[in-house]
Amino acid sequence: MSIPNNLSSILKTIPPGVKLIAVSKTKPESDILQAYQAGQKIFGENKAQELAAKCQSLPKDIEWHMIGHMQSNKVKYIAPFVHMIHSIDSLNLLKEVNKQGIKNNRIINVLLQFHIAEEESKFGFSEEEAKELLSSREFSELKNINVCGIMGMATFTENTNQIQKEFSHLNSIFKKLKSEYFTNHPNFKEISMGMSGDYLIAIKEASTMVRLGSSIFGGR
Ligand SMILES: *Cc1c(COP(=O)(O)O)cnc(C)c1O
C-alpha cells in the first residue's frame, strides 16, 4: 500500500467532526510530502527539535501538533509556530508554554494529558491532579495559553473491552472538567484519543482527534 492509498482508506472510516492527525515521527520529509500532496494538512510529531526542523523545510500551511512528552527547556523550539500541544502533563510545563507564548506574542493551544492506561510508563495527570491545577491561582494567571481539551492513550493490549473502558473514562473526565471549569469556554471541546490500533473504538467513545502514524506511513 502507498501513503496516499492508506490515507484515503483511513479517511473513509473517520466521520466528519473528527480530525485526523497524521503522526509522522521518525519518518522522512518525503513521506510527509506524499501525504500532504494527497490533501493531508495536519501532522503530529513527538520530539520538539524534529518538529521544528520539519516545519522549517516543509510547506507553510501545514498545521503542526506536538503529541509527545516534552521537557520544559524544549518548548522554545516549537512555540513560534506550533498549532497545538497535546501533551501537557505538569503545571511547570504549562507555565513554560505560557512564557514562550508571551515571548512570541501568541496564545498557544494546549490539551491536558491524562493517564488512563494501566502501564506506568505513560505520562499524564490523574483527575485529582488536574482539578488541583485548574483551581489554582497560578493556572488562572496564565493568559497566553488556550486549553482546548484533553488527551490520553489507552493501554497497549488486545483487550478491546479494556481499551473501550479507558476511552470511556477519558470522555467522562472531559465532561466533568467541562461542566466544572470550562462551561463558558467554547474552545474547550477536544478529546484527543485513538491511535492506529484503537482509533475506531476511540471514535465510538466521542474522540474528536485521532493520532495515526503506522497505519498511514507504515511501521517504525
Ligand atoms: C506514535 C504516537 C501515535 C501514533 O501511533 P501509531 O500506533 O503509529 O498510530 C499517537 N499518539 C502518540 C502520543 C504517539 O506517540
181: containing domain? 3-217
Please state the atom number of ligand 1 nearest to the C-alpha of residue 151.
13
Instruction: Give me the number of domains the chain comprises.
Output: 1
R_g (Cα) of the chain, nearest Å: 17
Contact status, residue 65 vs residue 39, Cβ threshold 8 Å: no
CA atoms within 13 A on the CB side of 76: 2
The pTM of this model reads 0.97
Whole-number Å distance, alpha carbon 129 to ligand 1 midpoint, is 24
CA of residue 181 to ligand 1 center, whole Å: 29
| pLDDT per position as a tens digit, 47-99 | 999 999 999 999 999 999 999 999 999 999 999 999 999 999 999 999 999 99
What average pLDDT does the segment 167-178 reach?
A: 98
Q: C-alpha distances in angstroms, 198 versus 66, 115, 116? A: 20, 16, 14
pLDDT value at residue 151:
98
pLDDT at residue 183 in the model? 96
Task: Name which of 18-27, 112-121, 187-196, 209-218 the model is least confident about.
Answer: 112-121
Query: Domain containing 115 — which CATH number?
Result: 3.20.20.10
CA–centroid distance, residue 179 to ligand 1 (Å): 29
Is pLDDT of 122 > 80? no
Measuring CA to CA, how many Å separate 174 from each of 91, 130, 161? 18, 11, 20
Rounded to the nearest angstrom, the distance between the alpha carbon of 122 and the centre of ligand 1 is 12
Confirm or reject: Cβ of 113 under 6 Å from ligand 1.
Answer: no
212 CB near ligand 1 (under 6 Å): yes
User: Cβ of 25: how many Cβ atoms within 10 Å?
Assistant: 17
CA–CA gap between residue 116 and residue 151 (Å, rounded) = 10
Q: Is the per-residue pLDDT at 1 higher than 90?
A: no
Q: Mapping DSSP to helix (H, G, I), strand (E, B) and coil, where does residue 207 land?
A: coil
Report the mean per-residue pLDDT for the chain: 97
- Rounded to 5 degrees, φ, ψ at 49 are -70, -35
196 Cβ below 6 A of ligand 1: yes
pLDDT of residue 121: 76
Query: What's the gap in Å between 157 CA and the centre of ligand 1?
Result: 14
Which atom belonging to ligand 1 lies closest to the Cα atom of 46?
A: 15
